[in-house]
Amino acid sequence: MNPIDYLRISLIDRCNFQCVYCMPEGADLDYALREHWLSQAEILQLLQTVFIPLGFRKFRLTGGEPLLRPDVVKLVAAIAQLPETQDLAMTTNAYKLADMAEDLYQAGLRRINISLDSLQPDTFQKIIGGRGRSRWHQVWAGIQAAHRVGFSPLKLNVVVIPGVNDSEVLDLAALTLDRAWHVRFIEFMPIGNDDLFTHKGWIDSESLRQQIRDRWGLAESAVRGNGPADVFQIPGAKGTVGFISQMSDCFCDRCNRMRLSADGWLRPCLLNETGQINLRQALRQGQPLADIRAQVAELLAAKPDINFKMRDSGTTGAYSRTMSQIGG
């Protein structure tokens, strides 16, 4: 069992995109009130007095869309400056990144994952939802800015949806040929999108790998990350291609992460809320920090059993909450 040392921290449950695989059109979402978000001081207090003493050293800032949070740069700087922080990363849709990449880098952020589900502006707009002018060019500008200021590794996340963007797999993989970028293909999963998943289905990672093998060949890569991706490299390419196969090859038993939602719920699993703890309530009601730490330690001790139960049950059920509500 991997040590549980990786905390995903959702900074906000709102997003400026409405991606079809996360927030289907017409979804009636119950957002947390802003006063229910964990404050910067509360996040830092939890890290320093609860999570770091329990062995957490890797942190990822997520959402919703984390760049919508007004104090995000200050929060990045504060976490990066903690002496125990070994790894700090962020997942973003990059829409606001062109104007923020330099500030985030100077604050201490070094690793970034960006959602880029299509290279075609029209297809991209259909995936992210909303009306009006395509936002692809703004996202691409954010990616270029992240590359220019030196984020490394720079990862691009692609959720592959049959009949929508699966024809672009080779084009997206080709981004790694002359750039040291890491493209991650993610199997489509039924989280908050039951109708779309039922209608479209999903494509397994091995089928995607075979497309790339047939075009260029494919070898295992020496590059490894903190996440569940199986990483490969096109011969001679500067970057890598990875595959996150939660549908065809459930990796729950290897999970080393916990999830802290924007409104302070600590959850042991993306799809399982067994034993979840309301840390915001605990802090604001004045519970002793030692007691809070003991509750979290108890949940950590239970997580291996939760992992294996999820592995045994599989992850192909449908879930009504969206990713932004769960906490990335």
Separation in Å, CA 294 to CA 5, 154, 225, 291, 301: 16, 36, 30, 5, 10
Is it the case that residue 316 has pLDDT exceeding 50?
no
Region 6-326: CATH code = 3.20.20.70
User: What are the strands, taking DSSP E only, across 101-202?
Assistant: 111-115, 154-160, 181-187
266-305 pLDDT tens trace: 998 877 777 899 999 999 999 999 999 999 999 999 888 8
Model pTM score:
0.91
**Whole-angstrom distance between the N-terminal and C-terminal Cα of the chain?**
23
Domains of the chain by residue range: 6-326
| pLDDT band (50, 70, 90) for residue 87 | very high
DSSP state of 32: P
* Pick from 6-10, 128-132, 214-218: least confident: 128-132
pLDDT value, residue 295: 97
Report phi then psi at 220, rounded to 5. Answer: -65, 145
Give the integer Cα–Cα distance in Å for 185 and 259: 22
How many Cα atoms sit within 13 Å of 152 on the Cβ side? 8
* Pick from 116-120, 129-133, 168-172, 238-242: least confident: 129-133
Is it the case that residue 196 has pLDDT exceeding 90?
no
pLDDT value, residue 198: 56
Contact 219, 232 (CB under 8 A): yes
